[in-house]
Structure 1
């Protein structure tokens, strides 16, 4: 059942999907235009790793409400790469990348995904499955519900709070 919203529905991009996997409060903040501290040390470090890794590939490609870290073609197949500073939140990264693949699929573009962890010298392949598409449809509905809440969800401590750019806002 759709939740009535008193403004435009959220534009669901990869960041909102990522936040959904980490903290629903972050989803609410982002969907209400409350940006994290852009100078947060962890965000700056992530941008530097993204900008300075895989230099031969095309970086920061916009597609709809998404921004792909890397786009390349391997053996005739489009590959979307998502660069992360660590695999600590690999489930969130996997869902974010699956979201990118799903948006491309909706436009008739079949692609593969690669999660890239340059500091760990690792990569993980991600493919879009019917099960993942179904899961993402549910995630999108939950994101819309969170975005339509009058106030943010209650702050809940988790293992990512110590590196969160919103932590001052949540815990002050």
Structure 2
């Protein structure tokens, strides 16, 4: 197994966690915070938007099963990378689109993916996703972990996360873990 880490900020971490948990080769997904200036921030501090942190997921994946490039494509196709500090009704720098790279190769691949998507005009507006070095990752509180699986019937999950998950599973069926088919 060729285990690697990736850290993505694509708005609410509940949504991104739910998607990436379903992907073959993804071994773990942890919701948390990174990119700010406060040590050990809390969710309430993050919600105020003045710590500089983004809501992110950090995942461990087997690069022999799924490549970082494939993960990047899923990341870009499952959120809006053209809105600055916003995803849907979630507004603030904590919801920014960001790739926190762990290696120079990840940085190069992320920049190349943005260039490719721009040339292909996949999005109507300019991609504003940050590509920045990974810094200290702070795991979010336990109630944020595995959120969709544990709370699927709550309104946010039913009306926001489930439709995103449905769209993702239709477009990326071949990437789903076999037990989900």
Answer yes or no: same fold by TM over 0.5: no
Q: Please identify the structure whose Cα radius of gyration is greater.
A: 1
Relative to the length of structure 1, the TM-score reads: 0.34
Relative to the length of structure 2, the TM-score reads: 0.33
